[in-house]
Amino acid sequence: MTILGSSALVAAGSLAAGFLGALTGLGGGVVIVPLLTLGLHVDIRYAIGASLVSVIATSSGAAAAYVREGYTNIRIGMFLELATTLGAIAGAVLAARLPAGAIAVVFGAALLLSAWMNLRPRPEHPAASGDPLARRLRLEGSCPGAGPGAPPRAYGARRVPLGFALMGLAGILSGLLGIGSGALKVLAMDQAMRLPFKVSTTTSNFMIGVTAAASAGIYLDRGYIDPGLTMPVMLGVLAGSLLGARALIAARVRVLRWVFSGVIAALAVEMILAGLRGGL
């Protein structure tokens, strides 16, 4: 296959990944790495480097809109980025030392977690003030109400040390696997810190790009970011995420979540088997 043909194939697959990722909220990174490694036989470290750059691009585009709408809590996001950034750097350093098979097995386990998180019911937590540590750090805010004309809803973070620790783990997975680790970030803010779900998802999106940028520098320094591979991946995922955001309005999201989770689970099993067989 010619270079032009292979680039077009990568861009088309990345567009589909970005489209599905936007519809489900998991991002395109969870599909990009299996697509490149299993489908196109790209070395997993180069696939992770390309995925990290695409995560930065898509997060940057969506984050600005969420900040304007008043859902993203920048103070909470920047505080938790201390944990995710350190974790991302550690994960990127660890990726250079682990064999490809081990990375594939860990990636498959992370995909299974993402598929499970994608199907869980997401009830809203009742509004509550933060615990003493959160109040001292001013980890609180307000978000738009549930309906048109509804008053803003005040909230405060709880169990800050647990949320901070989970964010560090999310950063390690992001740097090691080239994914945004949005599922774990949302889990930390929604379940551990008891923030409103929309605040959790939008703040997670704001954080994902910063986390990916921290680990992408390590991959770039080690030569694992190939411009010829990264450019079509980034453009495809970015275009797909924009299309997915528009289609989300009319889509039957519950059905899409089941379909996407099924695909992710199948890719997870294939990644784990390939890692155990040493086929990467």
Q: Where are the domains of the chain?
A: 3-121+175-180+199-277
Cα–Cα separations (whole angstroms), residue 28 to 8, 21, 57, 88, 238? 17, 5, 11, 18, 9
Supply φ then ψ for residue 157, to 5 degrees: -75, 155
Q: The pTM is what?
A: 0.75
pLDDT value at residue 28? 64
Cβ proximity of 232 and 9 under 8 Å: no
Res 127 pLDDT > 60: no
Alpha carbons 192 and 164: distance in angstroms, whole number:
10
Mean predicted confidence (pLDDT) in 122-149: 73
pLDDT value at residue 164? 93
Res 163 pLDDT > 80: yes
Cβ proximity of 225 and 216 under 8 Å: yes
Q: What is the pLDDT of residues 239-266, one digit of tens each?
A: 887 777 666 555 565 666 677 677 777 7
Cβ proximity of 250 and 219 under 8 Å: no
pLDDT value at residue 124? 59
Res 165 pLDDT > 90: yes
pLDDT value at residue 122? 59
Alpha carbons 206 and 204: distance in angstroms, whole number:
5
Nearest alpha carbon to residue 65 among 210, 198, 215, 188:
198
Cβ proximity of 27 and 21 under 8 Å: yes
pLDDT value at residue 1? 60
Mean predicted confidence (pLDDT) in 108-124: 71
Beta bridge pairs of residue 142: 154
Res 25 pLDDT > 60: no
Q: Could you tell me the two tokens for 177?
A: 């696997």
